[in-house]
Chains A and B, each alone.
Chain A
Amino acid sequence: MTDATASGAPATAPANSLMAPDARTARRNAAEKRFRAYGLGAIAVAFGALVVLLLSILSNGLGAFTQAKLSFPVTLQAEQVAEAEGALLKTSAYKAMLQEALAAYLAEQGTDVDAEVAISLLSDEAAATLREFALANADRYGEPVPFTILANGRIDGFFKGRVTYESAELDRNVSPEQLRAAESLRDAGVLTAGFNWSFITAPDASDNRVEAAGLGVAMLGSLYMMLVVLVLALPIGVAASIYLEEFAPQNRLTDLIEVNISNLAAVPSIVFGILGLAIFINWAGLPQSAPIVGGLVLTLMTLPTIIIATRAALKAVPPSIRDAALGLGASKMQSVFHHVLPLAMPGILTGTIIGLAQALGETAPLLLIGMVAFVREYPDAPPEGLFDPASALPVQIYNWTQRADPGFFERASGAIIVLLLFLLVMNLTAIFLRRRFERRW
């Protein structure tokens, strides 16, 4: 009987078997695969965006770190300097000195480049640089002093591919003749490209001196602001978190403060700029463009970040620690300050560094409190320097994007590389602190 049914059955194969998936299962499995692919695609999009972003910044900005320079010796004479100082146009007198020295050097090198053209390759800053040196080093008159002077922005752009013979035809700031002279000077070894320290240390420069523009004042300003933020936001943030986490009674006031803090974390940064402008500058009369105002605004912005991180760190300390301290007769305050706070410190520091990193990159509020001003003077040492005008790294970047010369785009991208390096170091420190010191209870 059983054999008969067994032999008769294969004729009508089962409509669905686990071995051969039917159309519906296939469809469902395909949908599953598609869904996974969408997810992977989304991750790929995010990765791709990050890679394109970084590559674009790097390819645009690395050029800012090298710069074409001319090196030649200049012999200063005391009477020449005295005469130039007496002249009406001091810098043009120094420019004449430079041209004389350059002509002598070119003749010595045996190149056929005209000194008149060669001098036009120099940055407009050159004469001022020479004057500064001459006034500061009276003891070196009479001997040949090796000078390295920046080539102007167009010549620099020529070696970086930004300026070509065709574009020079149309550009009234540079001629093909100058480019030819630059090429032969490079072949003669007078014109070289090297690492551009002045990009890191020099102050900003005016619109037609792109080659001389640097980040010195901006970095100093950012540093001052970070100091203000650190000195104010860390103690205030930690104190506020200790109160909210350890002492605050459950009442309406506490609720109000908590809702406030979570909302402040989401207020657009530009609104903090308006606050700074209205309160710190218009009402309290603090100076515009000063790091102290920027620091105060950024402190208010950073506080919520630090408070949220600190509260999480305090929450992570197990209650047994508090109970043990209280059991041994410590007061509530002692248990917090002697035991809980030290254990929460790594978490607090991590949160603080991340808050500082955010503050370092913040631009919009600083625009409103006058940090966009063109500042060439380095601020003094703190505390007076906190009230001097200064710029800030991200604002300097914004500033450069608003200039006409395309060379400033390269500078802006270069400045972003510097900014990102700072952020990288800060975040790595935060990760290191977390890995090294954070305890899992």
Chain B
Amino acid sequence: MPTIWLFAIVLVTGLAGFALARGRAVASAGGDTRVMHSRPLYHGLNGLLTAMLPALGLLVAWLILQPVLLDRAVVGAIPPEVLEDGAARSLVMADVRRVADGLDAAIAAGVATPEGLAALTAEDDVRGLLGQAGVALGSDVSPYVLEAARDMRATAATLRVVMWVAVLAVLAIGLGVALKRSHADYRARNFVERGVLVLLVAAASIAVLTTVGIVASMLFETVNFFSQYPASSFFFSTNWDPSFSGRGGGSELGIVPLLWGTLYISFIALLVAVPVGLLAAIYLSEFASKRMRSVAKPVIEVLAGIPTIVYGLFALITVGPLLRDAIASPLGLGNSASSVMTAGLVMGIMLIPFVSSLSDDIINAVPQAMRDGSFGLGATHAETIRQVILPAALPGIVGAVLLAASRAIGETMIVVLGAGAAAKLSLNPFEAMTTVTVKIVSQLTGDTDFASPETLVAFALGLTLFVITLGLNVLALYIVRTYREQYE
């Protein structure tokens, strides 16, 4: 029976626990809810939580751990010389998993019987058999893979039975405990509230788990990558030239040209976004009438709500060709529609609302007394802004610019569609260049081989990107926070 039934059984038992525990508690009070410690609802919830949560937790934990256990159990069937290479190991295991799934599919499709599979050897046409079941294999099945796959199926079947028994047992125990406790004097509310608090804490720690997951997933594969490719060439080589011929040999994976493209594009984007966003924020918070503010502010913020894929398409079909035909080609600077300038300009537009709404908050946080003092000394409005408000708001604005820079560096779709794919170290802004994010996408989409440095490099790029943006964010938040304290 599929696992979803087990989920259903757990849920239904939980609901039954609710009704039973509530009924028992009320009955033990002789139907008079006033003499009970907790209201009947809490007794019901106590039944629900005590019966369901442990079983549900076990089930989820089991499902998460099962793949690891399976791999460990099956590795024994594979000759050790195949496993020596850390990279080949994951390949073989992927093969085994695919064959095992294929055997399952073959039985489900009715092209094979369990007895037939037991008698199957590698000399038989396993590939053809799985092909009939709709599972296409890249190559013929080697004997040890078939053996391991069969092992895997057997272990999986045993594990499934054990899981059913264990989950049902925990469920029964939970229900029993809940019912035993259901009594008019039982402090069900306190118990339920403690349980709910635990759930709340668990929800809050998902954020931490996500960060741990991000760092762990990238760190693990990055270490893998550096065991196959020297770190010094990754960080200092000025050449990006992954070979497509297969594993190892001949790839040059230097991050320098990618970082250069990323920073160049981000720089142009900030060159557009910072002046426009800042001046717009100053005008709206200092000069504009209330009515204009109520119209202009939401309209600028619409720019922030537009998905980046839309900006990407805008760069690709409108801005790129326009820049090429109007500026780049006549001046002889290049004839590529995708260029640093295209991506930078469009990204700048995307960042305008980001800069303007952050600066707006910061300018509004400057105390009115400072403005009044400046006006009292006879300064004009513009002089007040330039010489009093902006210096006072400067740390906050620097923080906003840093946050915008981190956005620009991590932006993907605009550069994928607008910047091009050639890794180059050049100063010409009308030339196509590429960025870290573009290369992450191109190395991880399509046919990927998680054993080759050409694929694994994406994780190293991702980790670099994560560290850079995290550093910028922390720095920005630190600056903004210390600045705020001055006026509060």
Residues of A within 8 A of B349 (CB): 46, 49, 53
* CB of A43 within 8 Å of the partner chain: yes
Indicate if the CB atoms of A267 and B410 lie closer than 8 Å. yes
Indicate if the CB atoms of A264 and B412 lie closer than 8 Å. no
CB-CB under 8 A for A398 and B312, given A46-B352, A270-B465, A285-B67: yes
Indicate if the CB atoms of A268 and B303 lie closer than 8 Å. no
* CB of A216 within 8 Å of the partner chain: no
Distance (Å) between the CB of B338 and the closest chain A CB? 11
Interface size on A, residues (CB 8 A): 87
Give the distance in Å from the alpha carbon of A257 to the alpha carbon of B474 in the complex: 14
* CB of B199 within 8 Å of the partner chain: yes
Distance (Å) between the CB of B372 and the closest chain A CB? 18
Interface of A is mostly: helix
Indicate if the CB atoms of A32 and B381 lie closer than 8 Å. yes
* CB of A31 within 8 Å of the partner chain: yes
Chain A positions 260 through 304: 1 when the CB is less than 8 Å from some CB of chain B, otherwise 0: 111110111111111101110011110000000000000010011
Indicate if the CB atoms of B201 and A243 lie closer than 8 Å. yes
* CB of B282 within 8 Å of the partner chain: yes
Give the distance in Å from the alpha carbon of A47 to the alpha carbon of B207 in the complex: 37
* CB of B245 within 8 Å of the partner chain: no
Indicate if the CB atoms of B284 and A43 lie closer than 8 Å. yes
Distance (Å) between the CB of A418 and the closest chain B CB? 12
* CB of B12 within 8 Å of the partner chain: no
Give the distance in Å from the alpha carbon of A269 to the alpha carbon of B437 in the complex: 10
Query: How many B residues are at the interface, by size bracket?
Result: 35 or more
Indicate if the CB atoms of A307 and B207 lie closer than 8 Å. yes
* CB of B146 within 8 Å of the partner chain: no
Give the distance in Å from the alpha carbon of A236 to the alpha carbon of B207 in the complex: 10
Indicate if the CB atoms of B208 and A256 lie closer than 8 Å. yes
Distance (Å) between the CB of A272 and the closest chain B CB? 8
Indicate if the CB atoms of A412 and B277 lie closer than 8 Å. no
* CB of A56 within 8 Å of the partner chain: yes
Residues of A within 8 A of B278 (CB): 42
Chain B positions 380 through 395: 1 when the CB is less than 8 Å from some CB of chain A, otherwise 0: 1111011000000000
CB-CB under 8 A for A56 and B307, given A266-B406, A268-B411, A274-B462: no
Q: Which of A138-146, A190-198, A359-367, A432-440 contacts B (4 or more CB under 8 A)?
A: A359-367
Give the distance in Å from the alpha carbon of A416 to the alpha carbon of B202 in the complex: 38
Give the distance in Å from the alpha carbon of A417 to the alpha carbon of B312 in the complex: 14
Distance (Å) between the CB of A304 and the closest chain B CB? 7
**For residues 299 through 316 of chain B, which have their beta carbon under 8 Å from a beta carbon of chain A?**
299-300, 302-303, 305-314, 316
* CB of A77 within 8 Å of the partner chain: no
Residues of B within 8 A of A331 (CB): 189, 193
Residues of A within 8 A of B276 (CB): 42, 45-46
* CB of A247 within 8 Å of the partner chain: yes
Indicate if the CB atoms of B469 and A270 lie closer than 8 Å. no
**For residues 107 through 133 of chain A, which have their beta carbon under 8 Å from a beta carbon of chain B?**
none
Indicate if the CB atoms of B305 and A427 lie closer than 8 Å. yes
Distance (Å) between the CB of B293 and the closest chain A CB? 10
Indicate if the CB atoms of B307 and A361 lie closer than 8 Å. yes
**For residues 178 through 204 of chain B, which have their beta carbon under 8 Å from a beta carbon of chain A?**
189, 193, 196-197, 199-204
B474, closest chain A residue (CB): A263
Give the distance in Å from the alpha carbon of A361 to the alpha carbon of B200 in the complex: 29
Residue in contact with B477 in the complex, picked from A262, A271, A357, A401, CB distance below 8 Å? A262
Indicate if the CB atoms of B211 and A284 lie closer than 8 Å. no
Residues of B within 8 A of A206 (CB): none
Residues of B within 8 A of A40 (CB): 283
Q: Which of B18-26, B157-165, B439-447 contacts A (4 or more CB under 8 A)?
A: B439-447
Indicate if the CB atoms of B207 and A43 lie closer than 8 Å. no
CB-CB under 8 A for A240 and B200, given A257-B207, A274-B462, A401-B417: yes
Give the distance in Å from the alpha carbon of A36 to the alpha carbon of B283 in the complex: 7
Indicate if the CB atoms of B318 and A56 lie closer than 8 Å. yes
Distance (Å) between the CB of A330 and the closest chain B CB? 11
Residues of B within 8 A of A362 (CB): 307
CB-CB under 8 A for A394 and B213, given A56-B314, A243-B203, A269-B412: no
Indicate if the CB atoms of A416 and B444 lie closer than 8 Å. no
Indicate if the CB atoms of B203 and A278 lie closer than 8 Å. no
* CB of A62 within 8 Å of the partner chain: no
Chain A positions 382 through 397: 1 when the CB is less than 8 Å from some CB of chain B, otherwise 0: 0100000000001001
* CB of A372 within 8 Å of the partner chain: yes
Give the distance in Å from the alpha carbon of A45 to the alpha carbon of B345 in the complex: 12
Indicate if the CB atoms of A239 and B199 lie closer than 8 Å. yes
Indicate if the CB atoms of B193 and A240 lie closer than 8 Å. no
**For residues 334 through 385 of chain B, which have their beta carbon under 8 Å from a beta carbon of chain A?**
349, 352-353, 356, 380-383, 385
Indicate if the CB atoms of B444 and A39 lie closer than 8 Å. no
Indicate if the CB atoms of B217 and A266 lie closer than 8 Å. no
Give the distance in Å from the alpha carbon of A243 to the alpha carbon of B204 in the complex: 7
CB-CB under 8 A for A303 and B206, given A53-B310, A394-B309: yes
* CB of A70 within 8 Å of the partner chain: no
Give the distance in Å from the alpha carbon of A423 to the alpha carbon of B306 in the complex: 8
B473, closest chain A residue (CB): A266
Indicate if the CB atoms of B204 and A268 lie closer than 8 Å. no
Indicate if the CB atoms of B277 and A42 lie closer than 8 Å. yes
Residues of A within 8 A of B197 (CB): 243, 247, 333
Residue in contact with B208 in the complex, picked from A42, A235, A257, CB distance below 8 Å? A257
CB-CB under 8 A for A263 and B314, given A256-B208, A284-B67: no
Indicate if the CB atoms of B317 and A409 lie closer than 8 Å. yes
Distance (Å) between the CB of B243 and the closest chain A CB? 22
Give the distance in Å from the alpha carbon of A419 to the alpha carbon of B312 in the complex: 14
Give the distance in Å from the alpha carbon of A277 to the alpha carbon of B386 in the complex: 49
* CB of A242 within 8 Å of the partner chain: yes
* Given pairs A49-B352, A270-B462, A360-B307, 16 additional interface contacts (CB within 8 A): A28-B380, A31-B383, A36-B283, A40-B283, A46-B300, A53-B314, A57-B310, A257-B205, A266-B406, A267-B469, A268-B412, A275-B210, A333-B197, A363-B413, A364-B413, A423-B307
| A residues with CB within 8 A of B | 28-29, 31-32, 34-36, 38-43, 45-47, 49-50, 52-53, 56-57, 60, 235-237, 239-240, 242-244, 247-248, 256-257, 260-264, 266-275, 277-279, 282-285, 300, 303-304, 307, 331-333, 357, 360-364, 367-368, 370, 372, 383, 394, 397-398, 401, 409, 412-413, 416, 419-420, 423, 427
18 pairs, CB–CB < 8 Å, chain A vs chain B: A39-B283, A42-B283, A45-B280, A46-B277, A46-B299, A50-B299, A236-B206, A239-B203, A240-B206, A260-B211, A269-B410, A270-B410, A271-B465, A274-B214, A278-B459, A303-B207, A361-B308, A364-B308
